[in-house]
Chains A and B, each alone.
Chain A
């Protein structure tokens, strides 16, 4: 409370805290979590993203998380309307968005109250608050601002009132839209970031606009920096180790799209859906540069069918979607399974069921990815767990699809989609690229489904290949692709399609264990939770807890060696972002508890009593929460395996 600066007039406040540059004591930090929040359209997201990029260029580890309101344009100054970015900056590698925020820049007090209500701010968090509302012409706004301000101060937050817009008015015509770069300048000062990198990053960010736009934004950046240097008594430094290798800084959806370019695929068919669309936006921007096409189809089914048509014709294609679109594609996916047409389907998961929470992460589609479509429809399911993984998963998915003539589903989620994390710049490899369309002559006597008895694999006939003429059908068929209703043909084809999963499984490596290979508890996760789980495990291991974790990239087929690892731990549990019934509920017991998706898979496959914990709160699971869950699990006597 003592160091809370309460200011009556922003102008006066500025003078009050003025301290000559160079006299501030610099506090060295391991990491800090910063948020920049505003009404929609005020540029807080851009400010936050640019801050993340600058920190990454300084050599800091970063993870940025978008703060997205549910509506496109929520009312101004509304509690639920916070739009912006959270940036976790660290000395070392950062693998997730972290727990609570250390410092927040807020353009109005209402969006800030929303974050306080959601428990996102650390007790005593530093708040840099736009102060223009104190002198607003509407007395109601003034009253709500003063009340909120006083409440925050009373609650122990360190509130700095700053006349951001007022300062910008002297510099640019549209101060409301310009103050995000002023805020960026302040943050550069607060975190001792290289202002020259800031200028460069602005030039990159606004690269498409004209030189004057870049110039005025740099003026704002410098003004914000100068203002903070002169008026704030805060100065931090997060020591950075500049990487010796070039790094790429992108979010998960951009990484997916880059993976598409690198995979050699040239046709992507999609239908707009949140949160998958941004991958298609970026791909639409650049795909043509490598001769690719993004086709926006009339609906999700058409998008899937279009991709199937292109794949069938010899050019493995993909379709990108999210939950509701994934549901719509099920019948077409079944056709690709039946016809053994390679296909990559990306599902950027969001909250479900139905329309659910379009902008929020959830891991609710694992079982529908594995078991979706009617009948026995075996397909490969992979889940990237980092931003880097989003890139490489697509390359792997295309290869598996074409090697095994299978559908490969890649499950990302809204968390990965919008988060940024640097990773080593990939070095192009010719092996990533799809081979040219096979137009060689089919030898006489060869059949379109000459299933190998051991692996189930068959050579695929592509239109244009002389001698390969046949009709592919979604009906049950024999080796010649003739419609066949006889019992033997039906079983042989289902048998062969199933064997292909086992053939793939034989080529997979056992997933590595994070921590000791044995102990009291093994935590298993998949997808975007890897960073949070491993951070929690690492901190508990530092305290002597015998916990390890394992993260699965392949969910179908499950790689070999998992059971052997599980057997070396006293307890096993999964931590997932999909629903599982709470054992503490009155009517829930072993006879009716619904387990989380991966836990259910592991229990049924390995006959091991795998427990689970999950939350579906529309946000990425935080490391602090995982830490608490693991600690409790270690203390409890139940679930011994």
Chain B
């Protein structure tokens, strides 16, 4: 398609986007829910990166966090419980031109969709994945999730949950082909934004666990961490996150962590107190599954016809005359 110069200029003008261009509807999350902070950070990212709304897709599963796409004025796919990742993988395989994001919760990703999560890490398809981890089932009204700390009282564990919490960072870092793992907390928006941005710029499966509050079901659980900056371990590194002087004054508990150090990343991943925030691991050299699989060839009708006829040839019984001609 060719367009006139005027039209081109007009389009360029249109392609400048404001925050409102990414906002759709009023979120129906509870006041104080960490999902609001994630939404704000992601909308800011879209604006700052100038992402074209029609080329941007948010895929989600089921749960409070999976309502996320409804509040973005981009394309969205609010699917079924646990299956956001394979749906996003199918999209990615079909469409290298789209920006693909995934929003999933601790129940969606770490419980019903756990198999997909592990394999998604291994596929390392180019997408940005936000694990909204509030450590409880919210939409179904307070049941323990795999990431609920041991002893969490819920409707299905009224005497306290029995098992140690699953650590999503450790699991992700244990899978072959892992290429980007970070952790953020909803109560430090500046770092949340920086981490979301770093994840978006990583080519591959960028996994961000966002520890977030659930004001409805676990209103006090994260208070000690929120109120005591010493209980946050900032991962600072020239190859990772560079913390602003302002934040550094508040969060003095810091570690110089090189994101290419997988073994140290695995150690840090297991910490819960203080809670690490920053980029644990990044390896841009891991190949993306879609790049290994997608054909560079343009699929023209002629191309398909030639390929198909070559296959037919393998199985064809020719009439005798044709056979002789072919032999000759």
Contact = CB atoms under 8 A, between A and B. Distances in A.
A492 to B, nearest CB: 19
A468 B80 contact: no
Interface string A475-506: 10000001100000000000000000000000
A295 B90 CA distance: 9
B2 interface: no
Q: Main SS of chain A's interface residues?
A: mixed
Interface stretch (B176-184, B267-275, B316-324): B316-324
A297 interface: yes
A510 interface: no
A425 B315 CA distance: 9
A465 B54 contact: yes
B265 interface: no
Given A290-B307, A306-B90, A306-B93, A469 B317 contact: no
A483 B53 CA distance: 20
Q: How large is the interface on B (under 10, 10 to 19, 20 to 34, 35 or more residues)?
A: 35 or more
Contact of B317 (A57, A264, A311): A57
Given A246-B319, A302-B116, A312-B91, A335 B70 contact: no
B83 A291 contact: no
Interface in B23-81: 24, 53-55, 57-59, 69-70, 72-80
Interface stretch (B140-148, B164-172, B297-305): B297-305
A209 interface: no
A313 B98 contact: yes
Interface stretch (A140-148, A247-255, A377-385): A247-255
Contact of A463 (B91, B310, B311, B316): B91
A320 interface: no
B45 to A, nearest CB: 17
A245 interface: yes
A464 B93 contact: no
Nearest to B67: A483
B118 to A, nearest CB: 8
Contact of B54 (A289, A311, A468): A468
Q: Which of B72, B87, B314 has the most CB of A within 10 A?
A: B87
B163 interface: no
A293 B116 contact: no
Interface of B: 24, 53-55, 57-59, 69-70, 72-80, 83, 85-95, 97-98, 115-116, 118-119, 293-295, 297-299, 301, 303-305, 307-312, 314-320, 322
Closest 10 CB pairs of A and B: A309-B90, A471-B76, A305-B86, A290-B307, A291-B295, A310-B90, A298-B119, A306-B90, A302-B86, A309-B87
Given A264-B304, A295-B89, A312-B91, 10 more contacts: A245-B319, A248-B316, A289-B307, A302-B85, A306-B90, A309-B77, A425-B312, A464-B55, A464-B95, A471-B76
17 contacts: A248-B317, A262-B308, A290-B299, A291-B295, A291-B298, A291-B303, A293-B294, A302-B86, A305-B80, A312-B90, A313-B90, A334-B80, A426-B312, A430-B301, A433-B304, A463-B54, A463-B95
Interface of A: 53, 56-57, 204, 242-250, 254, 258, 261-262, 264, 266-267, 269, 286, 288-293, 295, 297-299, 301-303, 305-315, 317, 331-332, 334-335, 339, 422, 425-426, 428, 430, 433, 437, 463-475, 482-483
